[in-house]
C-alpha cells in the first residue's frame, strides 16, 4: 500500500476576474458547496476561502488524484451549481457564471501549512489592501511559474 502526503495550494479566478462573488454571504455559500461536493468526490479540502473574484483552496491529494482532474471536478461542478442557483447570487443578474480556465497550483511543505491556512483564511482583509491581479502576478513571478499548455 502506498503512503502519500501532498498538499497543493490551488488558486483560480472568475471569468475575466469579474466580481461575481461580491458579498460575504455569496462567497460563504460557494465555499460551503465546494467543500460538500468535494467530500462526495473523495477530495480532501483542508482549507478554502477567497474573495469576490477568486478562490484559494488547500487540498491534500490522494494517490489516484491529479491536479488537473481535481480542478476539473471542483470548477466544473461549482459553476454548474452557481448557475442553477443564480437567484442566490445578486451580482449575476442574468449573466452566466464561469471560472477562468487557468489556475495555479503550488506544492506546500508541511512545515508551512499553518501559514498557508492563515493566508487563505484572511483573504477578506488581505484584498482590502491589494488587488487579486497584483497578487497573482507577484506569485507567478516569485515562484517562476511557467504556463503549461
What DSSP assignment string belongs to 69-83? HHHHHHHHHHHHHHH
Does 55 map to a domain?
yes
- Range of 24's domain? 6-142
Q: How many domains does the chain have?
A: 1
Mean pLDDT by groups of 10 residues along the chain of 149 residues: 90 95 95 98 98 97 96 98 92 91 94 97 88 84 78
Does 117 map to a domain?
yes
Q: Which residues of 27-54 are buried (b: 16+ CB within 10 A; e: fewer)?
A: bebbbebbeebbeeeebebbbbbbbbbb
| Alpha carbons 132 and 100: distance in angstroms, whole number | 13
Strand partners, 10: 57, 105
Do the beta carbons of residue 106 and residue 119 sit within 8 Å?
A: no
Does 105 map to a domain?
yes
Q: Residue 56: give its domain's CATH number.
A: 3.30.70.1290
Does 1 map to a domain?
no
Does 123 map to a domain?
yes
| Alpha carbons 15 and 140: distance in angstroms, whole number | 18
| Alpha carbons 113 and 101: distance in angstroms, whole number | 26
Does 149 map to a domain?
no
Does 147 map to a domain?
no
Amino acid at each position: 500500500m502506498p503512503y502519500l502526503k501532498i498538499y497543493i495550494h490551488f488558486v483560480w479566478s472568475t471569468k475575466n476576474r469579474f466580481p461575481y462573488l461580491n458579498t460575504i454571504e455569496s462567497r460563504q455559500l460557494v465555499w460551503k458547496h465546494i467543500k460538500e461536493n468535494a467530500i462526495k468526490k473523495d477530495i480532501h479540502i483542508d482549507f478554502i476561502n477567497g474573495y469576490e473574484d477568486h478562490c484559494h483552496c488547500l487540498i491534500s491529494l490522494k494517490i489516484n488524484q491529479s491536479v488537473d482532474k481535481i480542478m476539473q471536478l471542483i470548477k466544473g461542478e461549482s459553476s454548474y451549481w452557481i448557475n442553477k442557483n443564480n437567484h442566490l447570487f445578486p451580482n449575476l443578474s442574468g449573466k452566466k457564471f464561469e471560472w477562468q480556465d487557468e489556475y495555479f497550483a503550488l506544492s506546500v511543505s508541511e512545515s508551512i501549512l499553518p501559514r498557508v491556512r492563515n493566508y487563505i483564511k484572511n483573504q477578506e482583509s488581505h484584498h482590502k489592501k491589494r488587488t487579486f491581479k497584483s497578487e497573482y502576478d507577484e506569485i507567478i513571478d516569485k515562484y517562476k511559474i511557467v504556463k503549461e499548455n
